[in-house]
Amino acid sequence: MKKIVVVGSSNTDMIMQLPNIPRPGETLSGGVFTQAAGGKGANQAVAVARAGGAVAFVAKVGQDEFGNQALAGFCAEGIAVSAVTKTAHAASGMAFIFVDAKGENSIGVAGGANDLLTPEDIMQQTSQIEQADILLIQLETPIAAVQKAIALAHVNHKMVILNPAPARVLSEELLAQVDILTPNETEAELLTGIVVSDEASAQQAAQILLGKGVKKVLITVGKQGVWVAENGQIELVPGFEVEARDTTAAGDTFNGALAVALAEDKDLKSAVRFGQAAAAISVTRLGAQPSVPTRNEIEEFLNKN
């Protein structure tokens, strides 16, 4: 089985369900509170594990109860955690999430230990990247660490999947080392200046990214689907119609399942479909990692749809 290494963030999510997301200065009562494991990197690692992939996680947590809980959770999922280190210089990452009745969310993040992940930390885990076949990475840790991980994977001829979230400007040097880029519409717009609203604009945005050296581009557009651009062609792989309860971690779930399908040598469109099915299931559930489906659930969903 091909191995996947995820480099990224680990957070504890504090979730408040309310009829509406509070406006500035507004207090809303009647909420329902839940605590759940989250963080884009951790979500993706869990998504890989539950989809049936072999995965190691490179991350940093605090020397606190939230860090202990996170490590115990990773171990329970079967994620290799030798590269998850603890720091005494910051608390574990936290995210505070409001979810409205339509499943839309508003999130504030205190990066904590995630913000202390350095290029030196990545270099100490070089063997994790060398032993893997695929690097899956996002942008919720410092860009210098992201750059180092991608450069290491690229020079060792590993497949690099970059989920460019949270949205930020990226250098052409970094993008040229990426095999598969998976932005949503917002992230694609920030990277290209193109508002993605239809096939023509998706094509335009994808061509700009391909022109910067990215090998393949997957622009996710929610339930509409994913614009898949490769070999100069672009087409929409339609999404699934489900009743959304909470969209938190849908993108992370998609990326993790996508990586597993590619590790199993599925073609790109089949891998996208597999990722879409996992994401569709996740939005029908509350929370980040609690919403991530298992391999059996994904396959059962695909068989029915």
Q: What is the pLDDT of residues 131-159, one digit of tens each?
A: 999 999 999 999 999 999 999 999 999 99
Question: Closest Cα to residue 294, out of 91, 84, 78?
Answer: 78
- Residue ranges of the binding site for ATP: 184, 220-225, 251-252
Q: Is the model's pLDDT at 222 over the cut of 90? A: no
Q: What separation in angstroms does the CA of 47 have from each of 40, 91, 97, 178, 205? A: 10, 24, 20, 21, 28
Judged by phi (left if over 0) then psi (alpha if -120 to 50, else beta), residue 30 lies in left
Active site amino acids? 252
- Residue ranges of the binding site for K(+): 246, 248, 282, 285, 287, 291
Interval 61-105: pLDDT, tens: 999 999 999 999 999 999 999 999 999 999 999 989 898 988 888
> Which residue type does 216 have?
K
Determine the Cα–Cα distance for residues 129 and 122; give it in Å rounded to an integer: 9
Determine the Cα–Cα distance for residues 16 and 51; give it in Å rounded to an integer: 28
Question: Nearest 5°: phi and psi at 75?
Answer: -60, -40
- Residue ranges of the binding site for substrate: 11-13, 39-43, 140, 252
Pair of tokens at residue 156: 């060792």
Looking up tokens 């070089």 gives 126
Q: Tell me the β-bridge partners of 4.
A: 55, 134
Interval 33-45: pLDDT, tens: 989 899 999 999 9
Q: Is the model's pLDDT at 247 over the cut of 90? A: no
pTM, entire model: 0.94
Determine the Cα–Cα distance for residues 9 and 7; give it in Å rounded to an integer: 7
Determine the Cα–Cα distance for residues 165 and 287; give it in Å rounded to an integer: 18
Beta strands 3-7 and 134-137 are: parallel
Q: Are 277 and 305 in contact (CB under 8 A)?
A: yes
Looking up tokens 């939230």 gives 66
Looking up tokens 């539950």 gives 50
How high is the pLDDT of residue 288?
86
Question: Nearest 5°: phi and psi at 227?
Answer: -80, 120
DSSP class of 184: B
Domains of the chain by start residue, with CATH: 3-7+40-89+118-304 (3.40.1190.20)
Q: What separation in angstroms does the CA of 11 have from each of 67, 75, 295? A: 9, 16, 24
271 contact partners, CB below 8 Å, separation of at least 6:
258, 261, 262
The rounded mean pLDDT for the chain is 95
- Residue ranges of the binding site: 11-13, 39-43, 140, 184, 220-225, 246, 248, 251-252, 282, 285, 287, 291
Name the residue with higher pLDDT: 109 or 27: 27
Pair of tokens at residue 181: 């880029």
Coil/strand/helix, residue 118: coil
Q: How many CB atoms lie within 10 A of CB 217?
A: 27
Q: How many Cα atoms are found within 13 Å in the side-chain-facing hemisphere of 151?
A: 13
Whether residue 166 has a cis bond before it, omega within 30° of 0: yes
Query: Which range is least confidently modeled, 13-27, 94-108, 173-187, 214-228?
Result: 94-108
E-assigned strands of the chain? 3-7, 11-17, 32-38, 54-62, 84-87, 93-99, 105-110, 134-137, 159-162, 180-181, 216-220, 225-230, 233-238
